[in-house]
Chain A
Amino acid sequence: QSALTQPPSASGSPGQSVTISCTGTSSDIGAYNSVSWYQQHPDKAPKLMIFDVTKRPSGVPNRFSGSKSGNTASLTVSGLQAEDEADYYCCSYAGSNSFWVFGGGTKLTVL
């Protein structure tokens, strides 16, 4: 069982918006503004999409946005496109003993 809880699946039609939640505890998501999200296509390396809860690395479309409230973080993908279909993993720093904890992943399907 993963340290962070994500829904196993999410879906939306092209052009729609989808939000994926990620629930942790007061020791990880609730304690640090260090939530990141990774996109992974089949047999590809995970790619950093969001860091520091809300920030996007250079080159990541602004259709991807992140937020946090209490112990729950969220990733929103707006204007869904076919290439957004992938697995998404959340990650939070959890202190010097655990370093990083991850979610179990959410498979995003573009209908």
Chain B
Amino acid sequence: NAGVMQNPRHLVRRRGQEARLRCSPMKGHSHVYWYRQLPEEGLKFMVYLQKENIIDESGMPKERFSAEFPKEGPSILRIQQVVRGDSAAYFCASSPTAGPFEQYFGPGTRLTVT
């Protein structure tokens, strides 16, 4: 059973461009979570989604950031008009049910904004 997959693993964008980060959950998992890790810091919760629904977006910045988890295909975290402060590692986790016990993390996407 393949684990949580994220791509790309590394992404370089210039200021003002858009970044799209993809997350394919583990097979059979319908709950997806996104976290951001700034350099030398812990992970910060951003958003929790189920198929076609955003359940909790309390950690998402109010502007430029959006997330979706369509009926078919991976979950997408989209950052519009990136700025240097968006440079971070973005981790996706998935679980078969709601809750923290069974969140399985992907390897992360490291975004660098130049």
Q: Indicate whether A and B interact.
A: no
Residues of A within 8 A of B (CB): none
B residues with a Cβ closer than 8 A to A are: none
